[in-house]
C-alpha cells in the first residue's frame, strides 16, 4: 500500500515483518499523512557488510532496513522524504537548522572522550564530514523531532549515537517549526497536481 514493492530476504522472520508493518502503519497515519511513495522500493535484508542497520539509495529510490535492527527505519524514511520531495535538505529553508546543528555539534564535541573525537576528526566513513552532510542532518533532525519533541516511542526509531543529536533549545525550536510544517503542510500536498 505504501511502496512500489517490498522485498524480504529469505532469512527474514515473517512474524517480525508483520510487527514492523503494523508499527509503520500506525506511525504513517499518525505523522506522515498515510502518504504512499509508489516510486520507492522497501527491502528487508541483513546489512552486515555495510556496517549499518539501514540505508537509503536515492539513485535507486530504495530504502533498506536490517530486520534484526529496525530502529533505523524512521531515519532512512526521512532520507527518503528528503529525496522524494526534491532534496529538501538543500533548500534555503533548511539553512538555519543546518547552521544550528553544526554549531551545537561542535560545541558539544568538546565534551566527548578522545576516542570519539579522534574518530570524528579522522578519515573513517563516520567522521565529522559525514555527520555534517545536509541529508544526514535532515534525517537526524527528523529523529530529534520524533523522539525529543513529539516523544514518539517505537521500535522503528532509536537514535544510537547521542553526540549526533546535539541538544539545544534554539535547535529544538527550529526543528519543531520546520518538521511541523513539513509533515502537516508539505507532505500532505506531495503528489497532488496544482490547480491551473
The DSSP-derived string for the chain is --EEEEEE-TT--HHHHHHHHHHHHHHHHHHSTT--EEEEEEEE---GGGT-SEEEETTTTEEEE-TT-GGGHHHHHHHHHHHHTT-GGGSGGGHHHHHHHHHHHHHHHTTS-HHHHHHHHSSSTTSHHHHTSHHHHHHHHHHHIIIIIS---BTTB----GGGS---HHHHHHHHHHHHHIIIIIHHHTTPPPP-
What confidence tens digit (pLDDT) does each residue in 134-165 have?
999 999 999 999 999 999 999 999 888 899 99
In this prediction the pTM is 0.92
What confidence tens digit (pLDDT) does each residue in 60-101 have?
999 998 888 889 999 999 999 999 999 999 999 999 999 999
Amino acid at each position: 500500500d505504501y511502496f512500489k514493492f517490498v522485498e524480504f530476504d529469505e532469512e527474514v522472520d515473517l512474524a517480525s515483518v508483520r510487527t514492523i508493518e503494523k508499527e509503520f502503519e500506525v506511525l504513517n497515519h499518525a505523522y506522515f499523512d498515510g502518504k504512499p511513495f509508489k516510486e520507492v522500493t522497501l527491502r528487508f535484508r541483513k546489512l552486515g557488510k555495510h556496517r549499518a542497520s539501514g540505508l537509503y539509495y536515492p539513485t535507486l529510490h530504495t530504502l533498506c532496513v536490517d530486520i534484526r535492527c529496525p530502529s533505523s527505519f524512521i531515519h532512512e524514511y526521512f532520507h527518503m522524504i528528503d529525496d522524494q520531495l526534491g532534496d529538501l535538505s538543500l533548500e534555503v529553508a533548511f539553512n538555519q537548522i543546518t547552521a544550528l546543528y553544526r554549531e551545537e555539534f561542535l560545541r558539544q564535541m568538546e565534551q566527548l572522550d578522545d576516542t570519539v573525537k579522534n574518530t570524528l576528526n579522522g578519515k573513517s566513513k563516520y567522521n565529522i564530514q559525514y555527520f555534517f552532510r545536509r541529508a544526514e542532518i535532515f534525517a537526524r533532525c527528523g529523529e530529534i523531532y520524533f523522539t525529543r519533541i513529539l516523544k514518539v516511542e517505537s521500535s522503528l526509531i532509536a537514535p544510537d549515537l547521542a553526540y549526533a543529536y546535539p541538544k539545544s533549545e534554539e535547535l529544538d525550536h527550529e526543528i519543531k517549526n520546520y518538521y511541523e510544517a513539513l509533515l502537516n503542510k508539505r507532505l500532505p500536498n506531495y503528489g497532488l497536481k496544482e490547480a491551473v
